Amino acid sequence: MRIRCSHCGERDNGEFSYLGDATLARPDGMEADAAAMYDYVYLRDNLAGEHRELWYHGAGCRAWLVVTRDTRTHTISDVSPARDVARTRRTGEAA
């Protein structure tokens, strides 16, 4: 596999490590409840299709990335810096 890092360009997947689902949001703050946290930590959908997931470019720029990958074909349709995605999401929540 080759991943087009937002900062470094297309690189071999050996430079990256995988984390998983990027659609989950951590239940933040002192009000968060344990059941929601349990879901966040343990519950995952096993998708056949387009999947947004977190990768870490550990052997490159150290950026966390949100990679949109089709789990059936491995086609990668988008790679974005995770920080940008997270900030946009926060803005969306606030609005």
Partner 1 sequence: MTTITLRRSEAGTAAVSPGRNQAFRTATGGLINRQRPLDFSFDGVRHLGFEGDTLASALLANGVRLVGRSFKYHRPRGILSAGSEEPNAIVELRTGARREPNTRATVAELYDGLEAQSQNRWPSLKYDALAVNAFAAPVFAAGFYYKTFMWPAAFWEKFYEPMIRRAAGLGRAANAPDPDTYDKAHAFCDVLVIGGGPAGLSAALAAGRSGARVILVDEDHQLGGRLLSERREIDFRSGADWAQEAVAELESMSEVRILSRTTLFGVYDHGAYGAVERVSDHLAVPSAHAPRQRLWRITAKHAVLAAGAIERPHIFGGNDRPGVMLAGAVRAYLNRFGVLPGRRVAIFTSGDDGWRTVADVAAAGGQVVAVIDSRSSVSPNLRREAEAVGARVIAGGYVSGTKGHLALKAIDVVDTYGSSETIACDCLAMANGWNPIVHLDSHLSRRPVWNEVIQAFVPGALPSGMAAVGASAGRLTLAECLKTGAQAGAEAALALGFAAAARDTLKTDPEGIAHTPLWRVAKPKGKAFVDFQNDVAASDVELAHREGFRAIEHLKRYTTLGMATDQGKTSNLAGLSIMAELTGQAIPSVGTTVFRPPFTPVAIGAFAGHHRGKEFRATRHVPSHAWCEEQGAVFVETGLWLRPAYFPVAGENDWMQTVNREVNTVRSKVGVCDVTTLGKIDIQGRDALALIERACANPFGTLAVGKARYAVLLREDGFVMDDGTIARMSDTHFVMTASTANAAKVMQHLEFCHQWLWPDLDVQMVSISEQWAQYAVAGPHARDTLRDVIDPGFDIGNEAFPFLACADVTVGGGIPARLFRISFSGELAYELAVPAAYGDAAWRAIMQAGSQYGITAYGSEALSVMRIEKGHAAGAEINGQTTARDIGLGGMLAKKKDYVGRLLKERPALTDPDRPILVGFHPVDPAQRLRAGARFLAVGASPSLEADEGYMTSVAYSPSLGHWIGIGLIRRGPKRHGERVRAYDPVRSADIEVEICSPVFVDPKEEKLRV
Residues found near partner 1 in the complex (CB under 8 A): 1-2, 12, 17, 19, 26-30, 32-34, 37-38, 40-42, 54, 56, 58, 62-64, 73-74, 76, 81-84, 86-87, 90
Nearest approach in angstroms of CB 5 to partner 1 is 13
Residues 5 and 60 sit within 8 Å (Cβ to Cβ): yes
| CB nearer to partner 1: pick between 12 and 44 | 12
CB 45, min distance to partner 1, A: 18
AA letter at 20? G
Q: How many CB atoms lie within 10 A of CB 6?
A: 19
